[in-house]
A and B are shown apart, each in its own frame.
Chain A
């Protein structure tokens, strides 16, 4: 067995259990099957080329997810740039305004409302999130990464992970409240 063979074997052994998670994460990021396929392929090939740079004993899963996440964010940032700029501003402002109450109860659906919403509507709400917020929400809620791991993957402080998750959820609830009102699950002005 050559060095190249053992390198390949080691890489594949580490990668194999992650592929499904990678593909589903990519799908969550880009919301397009073909784009997700491309993202996974690019991620794997980039990881393999850089495999020598991965430090043995560190978290391989987080390392590969970081490659995927960076690829997706960079790939789609330009597409979303205009949206992001607005969204970040709005979120900052909303976060300040929201300080006077724990939740803006008149517009936020409560727990029972989510049962009345379709998965498709939740997916659309996810899709409406700016990429940075979607990434952190997907990594946390779908892939169950810790804040520490998410911080490593995204290269941001843990405090930013926490605040982005908070804001992402706030945005999700706003979006879902709209769907809930459209479908009559909650009425305008009703306390969720």
Chain B
């Protein structure tokens, strides 16, 4: 009996969706004609269905989504069109580009540390290598940060606002250690990227909080073949190289200043998931909070 009633109740639910077989339809029609409770239940289900539809509403797709989607499709097309680069598993960090990456961190984000390392060579800007049409292969920073780091070089012809917008579009997640008041380590996720990018290295995210608020954060990406773990260590002795979940990571911290993350192959989205575990591997305080960067 109870099973029958349950089945009938389920039939009434299916009836409002027009999903009954001919036999079920007959049963329901008979029920509605003879059972006031069933008829009321049917009317209620119809009203509920309409209420859900009304409440859900229909909103237009934000233009930002459309632009992000277009950019992402462009990136995939460009990636598909490009020659696959040979992966050199043991040579994934080469000093020049690595040095640029680390130097960007040091010069822009950690001026205090930079002063303590007076012997650090001048930055060799990789501007000519930057692929502004490929999000995962870009070096992105604000105009101000660019000039501060690569003085005398001309960045692509974009206004600061345009660059900030590009950056905001690319930002996926930031990871902030809550117990570090002055510095904020941030993982800048590329919004167009949730896949492994063989042949590229996604790296490095450090900023002072004030810099963060001014959107002077940056993302350094370089082909892993151009970087080398030993080079990383040479220029940044605190770096540790660890492997987690098949992804090799370079991590750096000094006291409570956590900096660096580099990976030989991982998308930003993957890095977002790896950061806490990676940082634990390096015996630094876990990065506990994921926060969306301001747009």
CB distance from B191 to the nearest CB of A (A): 6
Produce 1/0 per residue, A103-146, CB < 8 A to B.
10100111110110101101100100000000001101110001
Instruction: Classify the secondary structure of B's interface with A.
Output: helix
Interface contact B76-A45, CB-CB below 8 Å: yes
CB atoms of A162 and B65 under 8 A apart: no
Q: Report A117 CB to chain B, min CB distance, Å.
A: 7
- Chain A residue numbers with a CB within 8 Å of B72 are 41, 44-45, 48
| Bound-complex Cα distance A123 to B37 (A) | 27
With CB as the reference atom, state the residue of chain B lying closest to A33: B62
Q: Does B59 contact A (CB under 8 A)?
A: yes
Q: How far is the CA of A147 from the CA of B6 in the complex (A)?
A: 19
Least CB separation from B38: chain A residue: A102
* A173: B residues at CB distance < 8 A: 44, 48
Chain B residues closer than 8 Å to A49, beta-carbon distance: 76, 195
Kindly list chain A residues whose C-beta atoms are within 8 Å of the C-beta of B10.
162-163, 166
**Contact A142 B69, beta carbon cutoff 8 Å:** no
Q: Does B116 contact A (CB under 8 A)?
A: no
Q: Is the CB of A169 within 8 A of B13?
A: yes
Q: Are A37 and B68 CB-contacts (below 8 A) given A24-B56, A99-B5?
A: yes
Docked-complex contact A38 and B17, CB < 8 angstroms: no
Q: Does A86 contact B (CB under 8 A)?
A: no
Q: B43 and A102: CB pair below 8 A? A: no
Question: In the complex, what distance in Å separates the CA atom of A114 from the CA atom of B44?
Answer: 8
The distance from the CB of B232 to the nearest CB of chain A, in whole angstroms, is 31
CA A45 to CA B195, docked complex, whole Å: 10
Closest Cβ neighbor of B292 among chain A residues: A34
**What does the 1/0 interface line of B77-97 toward A look like (CB < 8 Å)?**
100110000000000000000
Chain B interface size range: 35 or more
Say if the beta carbon of A87 comes within 8 Å of chain B.
no
Whether A72 sits at the interface, judged by CB under 8 Å, is: no
Binary contact readout B39-77 vs A (1 if CB under 8 angstroms, 0 otherwise): 011011111111111111111111011101100110011
Asked whether any CB of chain B lies closer than 8 Å to the CB of A20, the reply is yes
Q: Which of B19, B43, B51, B68 has the most CB of A within 10 A?
A: B51
What residues on B are CB-neighbors of A112 within 8 Å?
47
Is A111's CB under 8 angstroms from B40's CB? Answer: yes
Is the CB–CB distance between B59 and A27 below 8 Å? yes
Q: 5 new A-B pairs (CB below 8 Å) besides A102-B41, A122-B52, A142-B56?
A: A23-B61, A28-B56, A119-B54, A142-B52, A169-B13
B interface vs A, CB < 8 Å?
A: 1-3, 5-6, 8-10, 12-14, 17, 19, 35, 37-38, 40-41, 43-62, 64-66, 68-69, 72-73, 76-77, 80-81, 172, 191-192, 194-195, 292
26 A-B pairs whose Cβ atoms sit less than 8 Å apart in the complex:
A4-B77, A22-B61, A27-B59, A34-B292, A45-B69, A46-B194, A49-B76, A98-B9, A99-B3, A100-B5, A102-B12, A109-B44, A110-B40, A111-B43, A111-B44, A111-B47, A112-B47, A117-B51, A119-B57, A123-B56, A140-B17, A147-B14, A165-B13, A169-B45, A176-B48, A192-B44
